[in-house]
Amino acid sequence: MAALFPDTAMPLLYGVQRRLRRRWYALQPTDKLAAHLPLLTGAAAEAALHALQERLAHQDGSLRGVGWAGLNLPRAQMAAWQLQDADFAAANLPGGYFAYSQMAGANFRGANLRDAHFREAQLTGADFHGADLRQVNFARADLRAADLRDADMRGINLWGAKLDGAHFCADQLNTLRQMGMHLSAASE
């Protein structure tokens, strides 16, 4: 391809390719697009995610119960999405942005969420068992009845988070109490 086009044309071609990919994904049925998303990586995954985001803006705004298990999408942008009961088990979402999202009952069991942002997200009853939560921002998030047992919580930000009924391991509870957190309603 380099022989056909000068070097200055390459960025233009990549831009055209990106726009065509977004248009193709926009034509796919929601269930097919959601089913294939965990198999996509890089620019293809971002284009499919963008198509789903556009669809949310024009429909009921919900992706309730969609299976995202195993998704590999670092720095995913899913702020203010409706993702109740979504399955993100074993997903690789480091640096993801989920602020203000409705994710009650979501399954993040074993997921890599390192450096993710869940500021003011609604996560009641979410399952983070065994997840990598290092440096995650849960500021003002609602984590009532969430399962955080065996999650790696080093550097976690729980400022203002609601933790009533949240489940922790004994050593996690001790560490959080040493950090000055009031966890009287949390359980082991």
Q: Which fold has domain 62-188?
A: Pectate Lyase C-like (2.160.20)
Write out the two tokens for 150: 């065996």
* Residue 6 confidence (pLDDT): 47
Looking at every residue in the chain, the average pLDDT score rounds to 81
- The mean pLDDT value for 53-60 works out to 60
- The mean pLDDT value for 92-114 works out to 96
Domain residues of the chain, as ranges? 8-60, 62-188
Using alpha carbons, select from 125, 131, 140 the residue that is nearest to residue 89: 131
The residue ranking higher by pLDDT, 22 or 145, is 145
For residue 71, is pLDDT > 70?
Answer: yes
Q: Assign 118 a pLDDT band (cuts: 50, 70, 90).
A: very high
d(CA 164, CA 156): 17
Place of tokens 């409706």: 82
For residue 11, is pLDDT > 60?
Answer: no
Chain centre distance of CA 185: 26
Place of tokens 């309603």: 185
In this prediction the pTM is 0.72
- The mean pLDDT value for 145-156 works out to 95
* Residue 25 confidence (pLDDT): 61
In sequence order, which residues have a C-beta less than 8 Å from that of residue 11 and are 6 or more positions away? Answer: none
